[in-house]
Structure 1
Amino acid sequence: MSILYVLLTTFGVIFLESFLVALGNLRFLFLLNVSLFNKINWKHLLSLSVLSSLILDVIYHYVLGTNLLMVAVPLLIMMGISLAVPLENSLPGYSVKFVCIFLYYLFVAFVPNLILTGQGTVITGVMLGGMVLKAAISVLFCVAFDIVWSRLRKKEEGTKLRSL
């Protein structure tokens, strides 16, 4: 049954990713990974990330593994920082998420071109401003997701739905 959940979630992520990239160049796969970090079983999150990133590599005409690399590095940084700073619903947790999301958008700007052509991309001030804006919007999504998650789930058991 969990395989079915992962496959259905993967198709939903691909649809939302394509829609949000066309709408405002926002990336949904990484937002979902950041939002579900330490909330669901890591095996389910890993399988969702690998499958979705490989499909998105094909859609964006990247070398296979590029999206997975761009998702994994900021998540590993966030995992390392989470050992010292709690990532739960607090200002330090959301500031760590902001920095990791900003790093992800920075990687999106130069890693695919670096892998494909071997040349870096010039990062301008306008691009940095856009990355900060997209990271702020993404953190607002994380806050909204955490609020909805806390209302739907029991505090002790994150996998069980709260009874009405």
Structure 2
Amino acid sequence: MRCVATRSSKRQFWGRHTRRSTRSSPEPAAAPAVLVHGDVTQGNTLLRADGTGLIDWEDAHAGDPVRELRRTQEQLLADPGENSPTELLDALRAGYREQAGTLPAGFDDWKAIYGAVSFLDTSGFFDEWAPDVDRPTAALEDWVEREMERRLAEI
């Protein structure tokens, strides 16, 4: 299996495109630091009739709520290679607004940047999820590379 994203390639992608981004677009407003879970995945989510809860708080930290919400969208709602249904995204965002009053400041400003950052998780764990997807590995590898380039081009 071809290596799609190593730690060094993540740094290379990130460094190359953040430099390009800072030259080509205004810097988004600074994000506030709030308590975030850090690993909102299906395995760390408990669904009950009276609500949803999170377990496994070992990755909790003071972090950016925009990144947390964008990563949560990717982790919970998007299958590799597919887009999340609009109604699920709308429900997640409505629930966030209901609890927090509004989406985090900078949610729209940081969309392209965190779209690329969150996809590093997808590419970085390729060898874990790819065997479970009913598509040829080579096709998935090509998709990951194209998708990362597309997301980075949006910055």
Say yes or no: TM over 0.5: no
Normalised by the length of structure 2, the TM-score is: 0.30
Q: Which has the higher helix share?
A: 1
Pick 1 or 2: higher relative contact order, CA cutoff 8 A, min separation 6. Answer: 2
Q: Which has the higher strand share?
A: 2
